Amino acid sequence: MILLKNADFNWFDKGSGGNSNIFGDPAETLRDYKPVNVGSEDLLEYNFPQKPPKIISITITKWDSSQWKVVDRYFRFYSDKKEDRIILLPKEKGIYIYETHGEWDETHNTANIFKINAN
């Protein structure tokens, strides 16, 4: 199990207001976090404990000798099928930051980040 770090979120109910929080750059937010060691090409299942979002976006950033670079970004529609909630971890060894962003509608979204060491 990988512990997620909360990042940006907006949660506004029409008519009653809401709450939001904007974090900085994911690499800066996770600077002091030790990466979780995983095998290259391992599988990672994600899940939402409450009502799942409609759309999930996943951004993958890799440390490249002197800086962080985005290496992949993709979107998925959320599915209740387990096989549709699997992330294939990188084949190439290295330190990666994953940002998962869930969107329920235009006023409800959250982002979480975590760091891995694929070896």
Q: For 105, phi and psi rounded to 5 degrees?
A: -165, -170
Answer whether residue 75 is part of any domain.
yes
- 3-class DSSP state for residue 65? coil
Answer whether residue 30 is part of any domain.
yes
Domain at 44, CATH number: 2.60.40
Report the alpha-carbon distance of residue 27 to residue 103 in Å, rounded: 22
Answer whether residue 17 is part of any domain.
no
Structural domain including 108 reads 5-11+22-118
Per-residue pLDDT of the chain (119 residues; tens, 9 = 90+): 677 777 877 777 767 766 677 777 888 888 888 999 999 889 888 776 677 788 788 899 998 888 899 999 988 887 777 776 788 899 999 999 999 888 888 888 888 889 999 99
Report the alpha-carbon distance of residue 48 to residue 99 in Å, rounded: 14
Q: What pTM, to 2 d.p., does this model score? A: 0.80
Report the alpha-carbon distance of residue 52 to residue 78 in Å, rounded: 7
Tell me if 73 sits within 8 A of 60, measured CB to CB. yes
